Structure 1
Amino acid sequence: MTKDVLVSISGMHEEIVAVTPEVEDENEAIEVVTPATYYLKNGKHYIVYEEVVEGTSGVIKNRIKINGDECVEIVKSGLSNSHMIFEKNKKNQTFYKTPYGQMLIGVNTRHLQVDFEEDKIAVQIDYELDVNHEPMADCKIRMNIVSKDSGKFSVLS
């Protein structure tokens, strides 16, 4: 894997609470494609990128840490701050800080799969999200990290 990579991150959540037709339309996947920096340190894979937030002058710095196929961490700092840890069959909690306040977030990882190739890392995470101990949504994250020059980049669906 080269230092310069492209990252595609697709996230989707299905509300656990009663769904109205208006909310059902909001359950579509959201995808971000961005350039990033990759490095390998002490056997762990790191992907670092910045996320621009519409309507503000600030950014969110993101760091994804992949520890084999057992644990994935997503750390956000800047306009919002969080440290989400996804471990197979384990629930982790963190505080999610936004400009509007702080929430206690719980992630109960139901499925975690990481596939490594020479110029590509593919990640699949399925988890239950709760906010302040109240079940909120069933969620999926799909990540595709590819060396810029490999020619293997594809947008997730």
Structure 2
Amino acid sequence: MTKKVSIKLENEQKLINDQELQQFKNHYQGDFYLKNQKLYLSYQDDAEGIDGAQTILKIDPSQERVLLLRQDPAAMKQDFSSGSKKPGYFKTAYGEIKLAVKTKSLVMELEAESGLIEIDYQVYLGGELNAEHRLKINYKVVN
């Protein structure tokens, strides 16, 4: 059964060659559902340059893993698994950029009507550390 949710995303990003910390906060309305023992959050991402791309978060509490998939026009895959470095990609108008995500910590507080996911991770481009991120996802079922 699909439920409507309010989703709050907060992302702190620090590029390795830049001392400035960038912060992004976004709010979305989306869907929440359970399928094959995994939780799913789905929403239209309206951040600049993304043009309403469908984004899905696949949350697997038993494997302590979160998979972020975004469709075109700004397709992206990031695979978060605590202590692991996983391949991913980001597609731009100029082509696909291969990346890797190393998850330093992944904390999930999941309940029937709400949840909090916090991910500290590093992004590698061309094998080199590019940025440090802290992603915080809050969701709550709305009636």
Q: TM-score of the superposition, structure 2-length normalised?
A: 0.91
| Amino acid aligned to 1:40 | L
Superposed displacement of residue 90, structure 1: 0.2
Distance across 1 between alignment mates of 2:86 and 2:71: 19
1:67 corresponds to 2:65: no
RMSD: 1.9
Report the counterpart of residue 15 of structure 1 in structure 2: 15
Number of corresponding residues:
142
Q: Which structure dedicates a bigger proportion of its chain to strand?
A: 2
Cα pair distance change 1:53/1:14, threshold 3 Å: closer
AA aligned to 1:92 is K
Asked if 1:49 corresponds to 2:61, the answer is: no
| Structure 2 residue 122 is the aligned partner of structure 1 residue 128 | yes
**Aligned position for 1:152:** none
Q: Which runs of 5+ in 2 are unaligned?
A: none
> CA 1:124–1:61 in structure 2 vs 1: closer, same or farther (change >3 Å)?
same
Query: C-alpha offsets along residues 10-60 of structure 1, whole Å, 9 cap, x if unaligned?
Result: 11111222x36xxx2xx231011010011001110001111125468x421
**Alpha-carbon distance, 1:104 to partner:** 1.1
Report the TM-score when normalising by structure 1: 0.83
Query: Please, which runs of 5 or more residues in structure 1 have no aligned partner?
Result: 150-157
Could you tell me which residue of structure 2 aligns to residue 38 of structure 1? 32
Structure 1 residues 139, 54: CA separation in 2 closer, same or farther (over 3 Å shift)?
A: closer
Separation of aligned partners in 2, 1:86 and 1:13: 16
